């Protein structure tokens, strides 16, 4: 029997269109999940920050969501939202971003120096002005880090949604696993890893742009 | 099949799951519960155990000598960025090629790499955060670098190091479920097979088992962390302050 | 200018009031220093004037107006506030920090710029510092920016809580001297909190020596407190070397009186 080469580069060359399409799908799924996650997390986090009483239940619920292995969460959602719908995938993906984002936003707000907050209050900033002009801007590095972590984690989770018929680059991994087709498996694995690393790098750069004041040092 | 599943209410599903946990009965998916638990723990034990050596060595060395510090940041970022499923899938064909057949090996190798970053990061931070005055006093007393590491830095950094191992272990417990996707065993089998056979109570049951295992791991290591705390330095065991990550990391995918 | 009448503060969960029935009057243009041991309630008292802490009972008036009847946020914009670590906004330049309250109350750009220039000159700050971030400044510079910021809208009243505490003694002395010169010119009504009796003696027109619960043990000029301490608490707080401290106050020295004072302490 003819021995199959480990990686069939010709197959890859033939399928560049599909690869590109899956890549875009991957990015879309990620962006949507993080975007929605942020929209939900921001007000919840501010609420938890201002009214401490909400923080434990919030972290409790999101913590539980987070410990459920992704496989299980997606699998459980299927009977309720349909096997191959994007909704199933997005619900799962968004849930995972929630814990990361809420935690980081609250930690960021908490991390703002007490005397900065006190000085601003003492000068006559109302609570909302304080939040918008002092607390959130100073919490931005932590929030940005949270967004980065959530994004990168989501990229990883999207690969698993391949099991639900979504999956972006995970599609190739699944294809390769089902048909013992090494080329596809490797392609999916390597590309999704590269995507994650690239996005991580880019977001780190963006984070650094956000805080010019922290890099200015005493003369 | 999916239509009948859609009729289920969550409460009954949870009830069914707990029933299954006590006695699998007719449910076919996944096999023997205790065997899978052992398998799962085996994968976790081997991968984390093996990861301890390079991760601790590197973390302690970098923290003590303060050289090549970029390595820790890089490892932390890579560790968090690279999708676990990708690493897993990557090693599957390789282990096949190496003649290891369908086994838990791709999972163990992938988990090994996954386990490294939290241990390395925490070992590094732990050693580095030791009050420089303390190490300076030690040096002034005439301790060699090696002695300082062993008698001063390591005991003080102990709790943080254990916290790192704890984070790593919990992450690995959760991620080991993915092994089932590459023909491996462990508790993920219940999730994957249950899903395939529409036995959703098995899926939930499997998930509950993983969650319980993760919590148990967390608790065991928290205890070890307290035990390892030098008396005068009892710190609150909270979340291991992974370098750039503030969220509790229980790896999910 | 500022009057506190039977002001009390009990923090929830504590048995003893932090401030018990405090009555104190501060005249326009004077620097009153609240000094006392840790936990005596001096900072709590000060913070009730701008309602960062709400009094449990009693009344506080500033310039004849009841402080408790006003919107606290709006009130604070009319009172200068300086704290120990200053709390400069790290994400804003020095200029932007100084401009904070003027912008809150809606001054136009030209008025803000003019005032900033004035403040820079008053506080002896280098104009080159304006576009810089706080992290680039020395401790002494930051302290002065903090004071400039508090003076930005020219409030009649200033509250200062250990404002010079976060710098080393040499810088602190210089800041104190500069501040005294400034006060000579602008004559604000100032409530100044410190735990350091030497600083109190140096800075104050009048000193209120507070005991636990913000109990006023003596409220008098520094000279009076040194020469006629009201009771043992004051005597102990001021310290056995008060004769030497008095030396620092003396403008014209009466040698015999001084020697007698010093000798008297050697008993």
A1 within domain boundaries: no
Q: Quick one: closest CA in B to A186, which residue? A: B90
Per DSSP, C36 falls in state: -
Q: What's the number of domains chain A is made of?
A: 1
- Contact assignment for A68 to B252 by CB distance below 8 Å: yes
Q: What is the band of B6 on the pLDDT scale with cuts at 50, 70, 90?
A: very low
- Contact assignment for B86 to A185 by CB distance below 8 Å: no
Taking contacts as CB-CB distances below 8 angstroms, the residues of chain A near B40 are: none
The string of DSSP letters for chain A reads -PPPPSS-HHHHHHTHHHHHHHHHHHHHHHHHHHHHHHHHHHHHHHHHHHSGGGHHHHHHHHHHHHHS-HHHHHHHHHHHH-TT-HHHHHHHHHHHHHHHHHHHHHHHHHTS-HHHHHHHHHHT--HHHHIIIIIHHHHHHHHHHHHHHHHHHHHHHHHHGGGGT--TTHHHHHHHHHTT-HHHHHHHHHHHHHHHHHHHHHHHHHHHHH-HHHH----
> pLDDT tens, A187-213?
999 999 999 999 999 999 998 887 776
**For an interface test with C, which of A113, A122, A131, A142 has the most C Cβ atoms less than 10 Å from its Cβ?**
A122
- Contact assignment for A78 to B195 by CB distance below 8 Å: yes
Is residue B149 within 8 A of residue B24, CB to CB? The reply is no
> Which ipTM was obtained for this model?
0.83
- Tell whether A214 lies on the interface with C, counting CB pairs under 8 A: yes
Q: Which domains does chain B have, with CATH numbers?
A: 30-233 (1.10.3720.10)
Q: How many CB atoms neighbour CB A202 within 10 A?
A: 12
- Contact assignment for A138 to C132 by CB distance below 8 Å: no
- Contact assignment for B77 to A200 by CB distance below 8 Å: yes
Domain at A16, CATH number: 1.10.3720.10
Between these two residues, C250 and A78, which has the higher pLDDT value?
A78
Q: Quick one: closest CA in A to C87, which residue? A: A116
A109 within domain boundaries: yes
A89 within domain boundaries: yes
A2 within domain boundaries: no
A4 within domain boundaries: no
> pLDDT tens, A139-164?
998 899 999 999 999 999 999 888 88
pLDDT of C71 higher than 70:
yes
A165 within domain boundaries: yes
Domain that holds residue A129: 9-218
Residues of C contacting chain A (CB within 8 angstroms): 50, 52, 73-78, 81, 83-92, 100-101, 104, 132-138, 146, 149-150, 159
> pLDDT tens, C231-256?
888 888 887 566 666 666 654 445 55
- Tell whether A117 lies on the interface with C, counting CB pairs under 8 A: yes
Average pLDDT (C154-179) is: 91
């Amino acid at each position: 029997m003819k021995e199959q080469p480990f990686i069939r580069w010709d197959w890859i060359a033939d399928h560049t269109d599909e690869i590109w399409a899956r890549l875009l799908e991957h990015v879309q799924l990620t962006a949507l999940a993080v975007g929605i996650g942020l929209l939900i997390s921001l007000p919840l986090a501010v609420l938890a920050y201002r009214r401490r009483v909400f923080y434990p239940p919030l972290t409790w619920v999101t913590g539980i969501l987070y410990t459920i292995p992704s496989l299980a969460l997606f699998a459980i959602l299927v009977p309720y939202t349909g096997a191959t719908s994007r909704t199933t995938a997005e619900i799962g993906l968004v849930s995972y971003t929630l814990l990361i984002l809420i935690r980081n936003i609250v930690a960021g707000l908490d991390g703002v120096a007490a005397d900065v907050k006190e000085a601003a209050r003492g000068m006559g900033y109302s609570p909302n002005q304080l939040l918008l002009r002092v607390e959130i801007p100073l919490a931005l590095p932590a929030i940005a880090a949270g967004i980065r972590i959530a994004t990168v984690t989501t990229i990883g989770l999207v690969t698993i949604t391949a099991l639900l018929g979504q999956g972006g680059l995970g599609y190739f991994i699944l294809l390769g696993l089902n048909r013992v087709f090494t080329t596809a498996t490797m392609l999916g694995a390597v590309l999704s890893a590269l995507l994650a690393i690239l996005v991580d790098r880019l977001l780190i750069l963006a984070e650094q742009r956000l805080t010019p004041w922290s890099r200015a040092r005493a003369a | 099949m999916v239509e009948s599943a859609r009729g289920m209410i969550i409460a009954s599903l949870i009830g069914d799951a707990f029933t299954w946990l006590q006695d699998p009965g007719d449910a076919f998916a996944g096999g023997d519960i205790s065997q899978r638990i052992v398998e799962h723990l085996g994968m976790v034990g081997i991968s984390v155990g093996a990861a301890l050596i390079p991760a601790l060595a590197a973390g302690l060395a970098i923290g003590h000598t303060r050289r090549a510090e970029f390595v820790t940041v890089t490892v932390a970022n890579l560790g968090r960025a690279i999708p676990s499923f990708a690493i897993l899938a990557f090693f599957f064909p390789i282990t096949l090629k190496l003649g290891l057949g369908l086994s838990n090996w791709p999972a163990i190798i992938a988990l090994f790499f996954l386990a490294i970053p939290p241990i390395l990061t925490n070992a590094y931070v732990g050693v580095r955060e030791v009050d420089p005055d303390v190490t300076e006093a030690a040096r002034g007393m005439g301790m060699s670098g090696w002695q300082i590491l062993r008698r001063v830095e390591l005991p003080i950094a102990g709790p943080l190091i254990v916290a790192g191992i704890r984070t790593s272990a919990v992450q690995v417990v959760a991620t080991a479920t993915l092994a089932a996707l590459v023909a491996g065993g462990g508790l993920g089998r219940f999730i994957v097979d249950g899903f395939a056979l529409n036995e959703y109570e098995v899926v939930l049951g499997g998930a509950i088992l993983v969650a319980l295992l993760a919590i148990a791991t967390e608790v065991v290591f928290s205890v070890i962390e307290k035990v390892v705390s030098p008396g005068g330095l009892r710190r609150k065991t909270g979340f291991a302050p992974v370098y750039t990550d503030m969220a509790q990391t229980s790896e999910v995918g | 200018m500022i009057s506190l009448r039977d002001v009390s503060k009990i923090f929830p969960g504590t048995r003893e009031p932090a401030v018990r029935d405090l009555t104190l009057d501060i005249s326009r243009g004077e620097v009153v220093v609240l000094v006392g041991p840790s936990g005596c309630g001096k900072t709590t008292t000060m913070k009730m004037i701008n309602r960062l802490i709400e009094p449990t009972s009693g009344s506080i008036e500033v310039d004849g107006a009841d402080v408790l009847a006003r919107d606290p946020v709006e009130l604070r914009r009319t009172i200068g506030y300086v704290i120990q670590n200053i709390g400069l906004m790290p994400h804003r330049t020095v200029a932007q920090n100084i401009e904070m309250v003027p912008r809150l109350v809606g001054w136009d750009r030209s008025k803000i710029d003019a005032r900033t220039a004035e403040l820079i000159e008053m506080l002896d700050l280098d104009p080159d510092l304006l576009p810089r971030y706080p992290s680039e400044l020395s401790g002494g510079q930051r302290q002065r920016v903090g004071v400039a910021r508090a003076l930005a809208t020219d409030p009649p009243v200033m509250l200062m809580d250990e404002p010079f505490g976060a710098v080393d003694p040499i810088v602190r002395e210089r800041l104190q001297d500069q501040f005294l010169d400034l006060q000579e010119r602008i004559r604000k009504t100032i409530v100044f909190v410190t735990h350091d009796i030497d600083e109190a003696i140096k800075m104050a027109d009048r000193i209120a020596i507070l005991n636990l619960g913000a109990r006023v043990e003596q409220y008098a000029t520094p000279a009076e407190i040194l020469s006629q301490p009201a009771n043992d608490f004051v005597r102990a707080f001021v310290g056995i070397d008060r004769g030497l401290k008095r030396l620092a106050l003396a403008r014209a020295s009466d040698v015999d009186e001084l020697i007698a004072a010093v000798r008297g302490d050697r008993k």
